[in-house]
Structure 1
Amino acid sequence: MSPSIKDVAVRAGVSVGTVSNVLNHPERVAESTRTAVQSAIAALGFVRNSSAAQLRAGTSRSIGLIVLDMANPFFHDVARGVEQVADELGYAVVLCNSDDQTSRENRYLQVLEEQRVRGVLITPIEVSSDRLDALRRRGTPTVLVDRHDPRVNCCSVAVDDVVGGELAGAHLVAQGHERIVYFSGPLGLSQCADRLTGLRRSVAAAGLDPDAVIEVVEIPVMNARSTHDVARARFEQGERATAAFCANDLMALGVLRAALSTGRRVPGDLAIVGYDDIEFAADAAVPLTSIRQPTQQIGRAAAQLLVEECDNPDTHAHQQVMFKPELVTRESTRH
C-alpha cells in the first residue's frame, strides 16, 4: 500500500497540515521543518496525489484529446503539436482513439468528463452530437480539431480542404489528365466532400466537364489496405483513368501498391496525388505528390485555444482557425 500524507507526518513528527504546506506552500514552513518532511517523503517513497488535490480545487491540469485513428500518421503529428503546447503550459494530455466509432467516442467523452479534465480537443465523427453538445452545455471547454462548422458554439482548427482539392485538380489538369478517379472516404465527412468540391472546381475552371472527367469511388475505411483492395480490383478490370486523387496519403499508398502490382507505371500510366503529406509520402516506392497540411501547427493552435478558454472563460471569444494547404510535387506525378 502506498504511504499516505499521514505516514509522512508521523515519520517527520509534524502535523498533516505542515506536510501539506511543505507540498503546496513551502515558503510558509521553516527550513528545518521542510528538511525533516522532505527526508520523510524520500524515506517512505511518498508520491503526492496531485489529481485528487486538483479535483478538490477544481483546477485539473489534464486535457483530453480524442482522435479518429491513431494509426493514421496525420493524427499522430497533430497529437505531437498538442503535446508540445500542453508540456509548455504544464498540462497533461489524455489521448483517446475513437476508431471512428460513435459508441467509443461517447464512452471517452463520458470518461473524460468524469475525470474532470479542464477541456477536450476532439476530431468528432459528427460535428454536432447529443453527447458533445451536452458536454459543452455543462461548461467543459471544447475545441474541434480538423473539423469546421461555424454553427457550433466552440473553437475549431481546420484546413481549407476545398483549396486542397483545387490544388490537386489544377495540378493534374495542367498535366493533361482528363480521366481522374477520386478515391474518397465517406462523402458524409466534410473533408472528403470539400476535397471533391475543390477538385470539381479546378476541372471546371480548366473548361472541362467535371461529371465527364471525375469518377468518385467511396471507401468506408480510409486506410491503405482497404483502398488497395478496391483499386486493384478496378485495375484488373481495365480502369481507364490516367490519374488518381486520394483523400489521404494512406489511401494513396494503397493505390500506388495496387497500380504497381498490376503492371501500371507511376506516373507513366497513372499519376497519383495524396493528401496530408505524411512522412511516409516522401519515402514511398514512388515518392508521392501530396497536399500538405500543417499537422503539428493544427495541434498547437487547437491546444492554445483550449487552454486560453480554460484559463480565461469570462473573456474568451471563440475562434475558427483555417489553415491553407500547399501542393508538394514528387515523382508520382512527374513525367
Structure 2
Amino acid sequence: MGTASIRDVAERARVSVGTVSNVLNRPERVTPSTVERVHAAIAELGFVRNDAARQLRAGRSSTVGLVVLDVRNPFFTELARGAEDAAAEHGLAVILGNSDENPDRESAYLDLFDEQRVRGVLISPLGDVSERLARLRSRGTPAVVVDRSVDGSGLSSVSVDDVAGGELAVRHLIEQGRRRIAVVVGRPGIRQVADRLAGARRAAAAVSDAVIEVVEADGLTVIDGRRTGEQLLSRSVDARPDAVFAVNDLLAVGVLQALVMTGSVSVPGEIALVGYDDIDFAAAAVVPLTSVRQPSHLIGATALRMLLEESDDPELAPRTVVFQPELVVRASSGA
C-alpha cells in the first residue's frame, strides 16, 4: 500500500484539500466536527504530512543547526541543552552536528544545514568561518558563533572571556604560593585554547618569580590528559611543576588520574591543579577539582534567542555577548 496523500485524506473525510490543510495548519478556521472527521481519516490512512515541503512553501524551517567541536565534552552537551530548551519555547528543534575538531566534518555539516534550509545555524568553529557564514546569511540563513568572539566579522557571537578565565586560574595558583606552573594545552590553534593560555601568561607576568611552562597534549580528552600527567610523573621531582592549569576539565581529570593512581604524588600537596569549564563531574573527581566555570547552558540559550531575532529581522546589526567566567575553588588547588 502506498503512502497516503493529503488528497486521499480529503476524499476519505469528504472535504476539500484546502479544508484538510486548514485542519493541519489553522484548525481554528474549521468547525470542530470537520476537524474530528479529518483527524479520523488521517488515523485510518496513516497519513504523515510532508513537513519539509510545507516549510519550503512557507519559507521558514522549524529546525536550527548546531555544530560543536566535540560532543564528548560535557561543556558542549550542556550548551546544546541550553539551545534546545530555548528552541522548544518557540516550537523548534535543534539538529546537533559534531565536527570532532575536523574541518571537513564541520564543512559537511554546514553544507547539510544549507541544503536543509534550516532556520539558522549556531556553530563553535575550528577556525575562521566568517566567509562561509556570510554566504549562508546572504541566502537568508542567519548564523551565530558560540563559545568564541568574532569581532569585526559581521557576525553575532556569544562567548566567555577566556583570557580572563586563564588569568583567574593562574592568579589563584600563584596566590596559593605556586610558582612553577605548567599550562596543559591541546589543539593550541583553537581560539579558546589560545585565549586561556594568554590569560595564564598575563597572570604570571605580574609576579616576578612565577614561571609558565606550556605542555602540549595531543588533544583535549581525558586520555590526552592522562598521558600528559604520566609525562610529568616521569620527570625528576625537582623538574616537576608545583601546579598545573589544564585548559579544560577533561584534560585536568586525566592529569589528576595519572598523578594520584601511583600514589607517589600528593594533589594538592606537591602539585596543585586547576581545570576549566566546571563540568558536572569536576566536583565528583577523586580530589574535587578547582575549575573556571562557564555558563554553558546560558550560552546556548542566549545564542539561540539571538539567532531567532536575526531570523525575524535580517537587518538587525550583529551583536557580541561576552559572559565573565567564575573561579570555583575546590580541594585540588589546596585552598
TM exceeds 0.5? yes
Equivalent residue, structure 1, for 2:208:
207
**Pairwise CA distance, 1:318:** 1.2
Equivalent residue, structure 2, for 1:24:
25
Distance 2:131 2:314 in 1: 23
Distance 2:292 2:26 in 1: 51
CA RMSD of aligned residues (A): 1.5
Range with greater deviation from structure 2 (302-311 or 234-243): 234-243
Equivalent residue, structure 1, for 2:85:
84
Range with greater deviation from structure 2 (79-88 or 304-313): 304-313
Change (3 A) 1:10 1:256: same
The aligned runs of 1:113-192 (5 Å cut-off) are 113-128=114-129, 130-192=131-193
Distance 1:245 1:195 in 2: 10
Secondary structure class of the residue paired with 1:265: coil
1:252–1:273 Cα contact (<8 Å) kept: yes
Equivalent residue, structure 2, for 1:46:
47
| Cα shift readout 1:130-170 (whole Å, capped 9, x = no counterpart) | 53343233332000000112121110001001111111111
Distance 1:291 1:28 in 2: 54
| Cα shift readout 1:206-234 (whole Å, capped 9, x = no counterpart) | 3335xxx1100122310110121122023
Range with greater deviation from structure 2 (258-267 or 288-297): 258-267
1:127–1:147 Cα contact (<8 Å) kept: no
| Cα shift readout 1:115-141 (whole Å, capped 9, x = no counterpart) | 010100000111336533432333320
Range with greater deviation from structure 2 (223-232 or 135-144): 135-144
Distance 1:150 1:308 in 2: 19
The aligned runs of 1:3-14 (5 Å cut-off) are 3-14=4-15
Amino acid across the alignment from 2:234: E
**Pairwise CA distance, 1:9:** 1.1
Matched, 1:227 2:225: yes
**Pairwise CA distance, 1:193:** 1.5
Distance 1:318 1:111 in 2: 24
Amino acid across the alignment from 2:9: V
Equivalent residue, structure 2, for 1:36:
37
1:156–1:319 Cα contact (<8 Å) kept: yes
Structure 2 unmatched ranges of 5 or more:
none
Distance 1:223 1:31 in 2: 57
Distance 2:31 2:199 in 1: 68
Distance 2:245 2:28 in 1: 62
Secondary structure class of the residue paired with 2:149: coil
Equivalent residue, structure 2, for 1:241:
241
Distance 1:2 1:286 in 2: 58
| Cα shift readout 1:223-256 (whole Å, capped 9, x = no counterpart) | 1101211220231232410100000000000100
1:128–1:152 Cα contact (<8 Å) kept: no
Distance 2:41 2:5 in 1: 11
TM-score by length of 1: 0.95
Distance 2:303 2:246 in 1: 26
Distance 2:332 2:32 in 1: 68
| Cα shift readout 1:160-193 (whole Å, capped 9, x = no counterpart) | 0111111111111111111000001232222112
2:13–2:38 Cα contact (<8 Å) kept: yes
Secondary structure class of the residue paired with 1:168: helix
Amino acid across the alignment from 1:163: A
The aligned runs of 1:47-126 (5 Å cut-off) are 47-126=48-127
Identical residues among aligned pairs (%) = 53
Distance 1:204 1:243 in 2: 16
Amino acid across the alignment from 2:206: A
Distance 1:206 1:102 in 2: 39
Aligned residue pairs, count? 331
